[in-house]
Structure formats: C-alpha cells, structure tokens
Amino acid sequence: MTFTASNALGKNTASFKIVVGPSICLTPPMGWNSWNNFGPRIDDATIRAEADGMVSTGLVDHGWTYICMDDNWQGERDEQGTIHANAKFPDMKALTDYIHGKGLKAGIYSGPGTYSCDGEEASYQHEDQDAATYAAWVEDYLKYDMCSYSLMIPLELSRMCAPLLSPTMKRR
C-alpha cells in the first residue's frame, strides 16, 4: 500500500506492507492500571489481589494480560543513584514474579522528568540506571509520563536552540 501526505511544507510518499497472521497480536495490549481506581493508595497486597482478580474473573482468557503499577511505588535513590521502592512494596522482584506466575505481564511507571505526576522520584538523569533496575525486576511494560518533563522542555529547548538564534530574534 502506498500513502502520500502533503502540507505547506511539502509532499512525501511511502510504501507500507500490511501483515496479518498468527505472529502478531490479535488484540491491542490490554490490562489493568492501578491509578484509575487506587491512585496513590496502592501497595503490594493490592497489586497481587488485582492480578488474582484478572485470572479469577477470566479476563486473562480474553486478552487482558497486563497488571500495571502506576505512580506512588517509588522510594528513595541510594548513594549510587539506584531507585528503590517505598515501604509499601518490600520486594519488587517478588511482586513481579507473582504477577508472572499468574500468566500475566507486569508494568511499572516513571517519567523523564525530575518528578512523577504525583511528585514522586522520576528518571531524569537516571534513565539507563532505572532501565537496568526495571529489567532486573523483569518488568514487561513501562508507562513513561511527561508531567514534570513538560515543564522542563522550554528550558531544554532554549539551551539547545540558543546557538541557532540570530541576534535579531527575540528570545522568550
């Protein structure tokens, strides 16, 4: 199939191959996210109970596969900068193992900014380190929220673009 897009900046055409078959996902990724019902009131027991519910209600048999722990699991970073869970989550690897043991996939939450949407520790300047931590916990999915980073974008863009501005251009 060929698509063509055009606007005031120009025109571009590209070919796409449409693939259908048993090697692709038959449903979009579906699952449960803690924020919708519990907000900051989540803990290890709640996540485990929701995983149990996903299985006992049969949702897992209809493509519901993710148990995603949203904001408010974060604790402090240690001296090396490694993120740790707060006291409500005593063993993140054990929690993920429990979810996997139910035949489900585990998701976790962070963002590229300094803080999460609810003011918890996020991944700014710890991106690789956090990715390694989530991999060690065997997380399958990462919800990466832009809350505090969206406030940082104008500052970052001004730093990157300042050398490109002509002396007559007005800086904001």
pLDDT tens digits for range 65-89 = 999 999 999 999 999 999 999 999 9
For 29-164, the fitting CATH number among 3.40.640.10, 3.20.20.70, 1.10.569.10, 3.20.20.540 is 3.20.20.70
DSSP state of 140: -
The per-residue pLDDT for range 127-153, each reduced to its tens digit, is: 999 999 999 999 999 999 988 887 777
Reported in sequence order, the residue ranges of the chain that DSSP labels E, i.e. its strands, are: 2-7, 10-15, 30-33, 64-68, 74-77, 83-85, 105-110, 141-144
Amino acid in position 84: H
Which pLDDT belongs to residue 60?
Answer: 93
Residue 64 has pLDDT above 80, yes or no: yes
- Tokens 């055009």 belong to 6
Domain ranges across the chain: 29-164
Element (H, E) at 130: helix 127-136
